[in-house]
Amino acid sequence: MTLKQLEAFYWAATAANFLVAAQRLHVSQSTLSKRIAELETQLRTSLFDRSGHRATLTEAGEQLLPLARRMLGLADEMRSRLTEGGGLRGHCRFGVGELAALTWLPDFVAQSRVQYPDLVLEPFVDLGAVLEQRLETGELDFAVVAGYSSRSTIASEAIAEVRFSWAASPALVGEQRTVNARLLQDTALITMPPAAGPTRMLEHWLAVNNLEVGRRLTCNNLAAIASLIVAGVGVGLFPQGWLKQMEARGAVVALRGRQALPALEYTFQRRRDDSRPLLASMRDLVRETVDFNKPSPLW
Q: What is the pLDDT of residues 141-155, one digit of tens each?
A: 999 999 999 999 999
CA triple 169-174-175, angle to 5 deg: 120
In a shared domain, residues 106 and 187: no
First to last CA, the chain: 55
In a shared domain, residues 94 and 77: no
CATH of the domain at 57: 1.10.10.10
In a shared domain, residues 154 and 280: yes
**pTM for this prediction:** 0.82
Question: Where is the domain boundary, 82, 104, 139?
Answer: 82
**pLDDT tens readout for residues 218-244:** 999 888 999 999 999 999 999 988 888
Grouping H, G, I as helix, E, B as strand and the rest as coil, residue 290 is coil
Q: Please enumerate in sequence order all residues whose Cβ is within 8 A of that of 161, keeping only pairs 6 or more positions apart, or say none.
A: 263, 264, 265, 266
CATH of the domain at 94: 3.40.190.10
Cα R_g (the chain), whole angstroms: 23
At 47, the pLDDT band (50, 70, 90 cuts) reads very high
- Number of structural domains (the chain) is 3
In a shared domain, residues 216 and 290: no
- What's the domain range around 144? 85-161+265-299
Please count the other Cβ atoms lying within 10 Å of the Cβ belonging to residue 158: 11
**pLDDT tens readout for residues 34-45:** 999 999 999 999
Q: Is the pLDDT of residue 85 over 60?
A: no
Question: Where is the domain boundary, 82, 101, 128?
Answer: 82
pLDDT at 88: 81
- Residue of 108, 45, 66, 103 lying closest to 282 (CA atoms): 108
Alpha helices in 83-221 (DSSP H): 98-101, 105-115, 128-136, 170-173, 181-186, 197-208
